[in-house]
């Protein structure tokens, strides 16, 4: 080839092939939009749809242009087709529909579409805009819009609900919600922190520590988690890890009042009263919380432990002035005089309610007051749940009976969990079964006795009894003692159930139980009959120290109320 021909060939223009696809037309549409050429933009978006008809974004872009052009009905047709035929998960289309309907002054339809968006959209991309539109619709419709949930804020709202439940003392309900939140959003540390706290309030120590540890693994400096863990270590007597944690907390200077308060109460509970008092005084000086009687109480407790008795008296008197209905300030003011004289030790109780032992004294004199306190005060309820798990035997018996006064779902679940704890005493479980039956829980109960798991069958529903009487308990204890070693757990449970059934039927006309041994022998008699067991007159008389006539009389009374003879097809009580 000649040099001229080669030069001519090299001068030929290079042709770059144009690739026509959805991306090409999308870019052209955007360029047209920048120049406010809506007709051209619409044409290009239509071409993009032709190239990728299954791509919902292309359809939404076209609907958006039509909306900008005021062609709302056409825009809505496209948005509906996206939701109905292409991608129902594109919930933002409901927000676009709501905007279109609002521009068409179809406010009812706009409200319906906006509610669908808020209740179904996971991301909340247009949440702020939706709030503004909601305000407009409320104004135009002259009423608020009812929304059951905002999907993108579902966990936040659920967490707020769980916190309310914790503050109200409904720990089991809070645990359920918090566990669901964490399952949906594992990195929601505030929910995980409160879950650990809820476990702690329920006395589930190992679970609480494990949960708080998970928070600290994700965020080592989380102050709430550090404080919660310090309290957990304190209650479990883990001195070495507690000491290390206290050193870390003492080097921390929180700024936010909520964090200062958390730090102060934590340090007080673990015995660091000087640092605690410093933080409490700091809060009182700021003025924001100076009107809280509980804060003055906390400061007084810390001051007493520092031998600053005059300061303590001043704080408790201020708490009494701010909260004259509460028995707490006056109780501790009386105690302060004895502490000054060296007759009593300084209080270490950093909760704004009476000490646990004092609550029981009040319960003995006025059960109704304790019932109200357990229902109203979450910290008191928490102390009872904690004592149920970690108190001594006598305390646990008192707690079980006290919880029976409340008898709400929270208490029922706590007592049912107590029944299956292999580490708890069998006799205490019998008391718990009795309380559950006496408050009307008649469904089947699962109980772990001496390493064996048994199911106590459901019973006929009886009327709920009031406060459990000590005389009723005495009959049961004598019957259990007499039946010990002769009857199995299920048979003993049936005896207890029969006693509750009898009392429920005759209440309030319960006879005077002068001879509790006779009633106990009668209960064993009917229990033996129900289980086709042989029982002799001589045996019952010898073991219970009561006459045959007394046993027969009380057995007849039980039968008259409960109809046992008829159920067992017996004619007269007879001893073999």
DSSP 443: S
pLDDT (0 to 100) of residue 365: 57
pLDDT at 170 over 60: yes
- The verdict on pTM exceeding 0.85 is no
| Nearest by Cα to 348 from 274, 243, 282, 273 | 273
In the chain, how many H helices and how many E strands? 31, 2
In this prediction, residue 4 has a pLDDT band, given cuts at 50, 70 and 90, of very low
Per-residue confidence band for 465, with pLDDT thresholds at 50, 70 and 90: low
pLDDT tens per residue, range 203-219: 778 898 899 999 999 98
Mean pLDDT over the full length of the chain:
80
Give the helix ranges, DSSP H, for 391-425: 393-406, 409-419
Mean pLDDT lowest among 4-8, 143-147, 455-459, 523-527: 4-8
Determine the pLDDT at residue 19.
Answer: 54
Q: How far apart are CA 494 and CA 511, in angstroms?
A: 21
SS3 at position 445? strand
**Confidence grade of residue 296 (pLDDT, cut at 50, 70, 90):** very high
Is the Cβ–Cβ distance between 48 and 25 less than 8 Å? yes
For the cut 80, the answer to whether the pLDDT of residue 391 exceeds it is no
Residue 459 has pLDDT above 60, yes or no: no
Is 205:170 a contact under the CB 8 Å cutoff? no
Q: Identify the residue with better confidence: 14 or 467.
A: 467
Per-residue pLDDT tens for 25-67?
Answer: 667 767 766 666 777 777 877 877 777 777 888 788 888 888 8
Neighbours of 53 (CB within 10 A): 11
Q: Round to whole Å and give the CA distance between 328 and 373.
A: 13
CA distance 314 to 558: 60
Angle at 500 between CA 494 and CA 505, to 5 degrees: 125
Give the per-residue pLDDT at 21. 58
CA distance 185 to 110: 31
pLDDT, position 500: 82
Question: For residues 424 and 418, is the Cβ–Cβ distance under 8 A?
Answer: yes
Q: What Rg do the C-alpha atoms of the chain give, in angstroms?
A: 36
pLDDT category at 77 given cuts 50, 70, 90 is very high
- Domains in the chain (CATH in brackets) are 22-147 (1.25.40.10), 154-346 (1.25.40.10), 355-461 (no CATH), 467-576 (1.10.472.10)
pLDDT band at 576 (very low <50, low <70, confident <90, very high): very low
Residue closest to 267 by CA, chosen among 227, 320, 304, 209: 227
Provide φ and ψ at 347, rounded to 5°: -70, 145
Q: Provide the token pair at 546.
A: 């009561």
Q: Is there a contact between 207 and 228 (Cβ–Cβ < 8 Å)?
A: no
Q: What is the mean pLDDT of residues 106-111?
A: 90
Could you tell me if 280 and 302 are in contact, meaning their C-beta atoms sit under 8 angstroms apart? yes
Residue 385 or residue 183, greater confidence: 183
């Amino acid at each position: 080839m000649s040099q001229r021909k080669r030069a001519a060939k090299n001068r030929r223009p290079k042709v770059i092939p144009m690739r026509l696809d959805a991306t090409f037309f999308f870019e052209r549409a955007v360029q047209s939009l920048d120049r406010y050429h809506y007709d051209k933009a619409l044409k290009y978006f239509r071409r993009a749809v032709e190239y990728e008809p299954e791509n919902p974004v292309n359809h939404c872009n076209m609907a958006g242009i039509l909306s900008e052009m005021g062609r709302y009905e056409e825009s809505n047709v496209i948005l509906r087709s996206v939701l109905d035929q292409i991608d129902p998960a594109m919930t933002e289309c409901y927000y676009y529909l709501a905007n279109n309907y609002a521009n068409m002054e179809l406010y009812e339809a706009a409200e319906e579409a906006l509610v669908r968006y808020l209740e179904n959209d996971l991301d909340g991309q247009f949440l702020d805009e939706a709030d503004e539109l909601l305000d407009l619709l409320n104004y135009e419709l002259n009423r608020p819009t009812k929304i059951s949930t905002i999907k993108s804020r579902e966990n936040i709202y659920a967490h707020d609900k769980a916190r309310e439940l914790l503050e109200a003392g409904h720990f089991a309900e809070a645990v359920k919600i918090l566990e669901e939140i964490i399952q949906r959003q594992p990195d929601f540390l505030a929910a995980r922190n409160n879950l650990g706290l809820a476990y702690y309030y329920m006395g589930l120590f190992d679970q609480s520590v494990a949960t708080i540890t998970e928070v600290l693994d994700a965020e080592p400096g989380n102050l709430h988690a550090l404080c919660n863990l310090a309290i957990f270590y304190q209650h479990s007597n883990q001195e070495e890890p507690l000491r290390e944690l206290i050193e870390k907390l003492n080097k921390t200077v929180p700024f936010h009042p909520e964090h200062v308060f958390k730090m102060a109460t934590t340090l007080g509970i673990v015995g660091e009263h000087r640092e605690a008092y410093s933080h409490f005084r700091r809060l009182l000086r700021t003025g924001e919380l100076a009107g809280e009687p509980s804060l003055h109480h906390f400061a007084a407790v810390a001051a007493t432990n520092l031998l600053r008795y005059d300061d303590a008296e001043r704080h408790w008197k201020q708490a009494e002035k701010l909260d004259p209905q509460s028995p707490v300030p006056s109780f501790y003011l009386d105690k302060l005089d004895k502490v000054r004289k060296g007759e009593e030790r300084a209080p270490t109780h950093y909760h704004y309610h009476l000490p646990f032992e004092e609550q029981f004294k009040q319960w003995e004199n006025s059960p109704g007051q304790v019932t109200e306190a357990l229902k109203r005060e979450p910290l008191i309820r928490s102390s009872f749940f904690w004592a149920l798990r970690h108190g001594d035997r006598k305390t646990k018996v008192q707690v079980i009976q006290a919880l029976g006064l409340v008898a709400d779902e929270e208490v029922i679940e706590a007592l049912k969990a107590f029944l299956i704890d292999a580490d708890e005493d069998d006799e205490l479980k019998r008391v718990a079964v009795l309380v559950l039956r006496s408050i009307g829980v008649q469904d089947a109960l699962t109980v772990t006795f001496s390493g064996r798991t048994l199911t106590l069958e459901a019973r006929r529903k009886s009327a709920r009894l009031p406060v459990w009487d000590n005389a009723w308990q005495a009959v049961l204890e004598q019957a259990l003692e007499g039946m010990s070693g002769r009857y199995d757990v299920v048979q003993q449970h049936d005896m207890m159930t029969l006693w509750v059934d009898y009392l429920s039927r005759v209440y309030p006309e319960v006879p005077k139980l002068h001879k509790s041994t006779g009633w106990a022998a009668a209960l064993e008699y009917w229990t033996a009959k129900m289980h086709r067991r042989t029982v002799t007159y001589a045996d019952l008389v010898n073991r219970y120290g009561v006459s045959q006539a007394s046993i027969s009389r009380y057995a007849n009374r039980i039968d008259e109320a409960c109809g046992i003879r008829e159920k067992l097809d017996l004619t007269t009580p007879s001893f073999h």
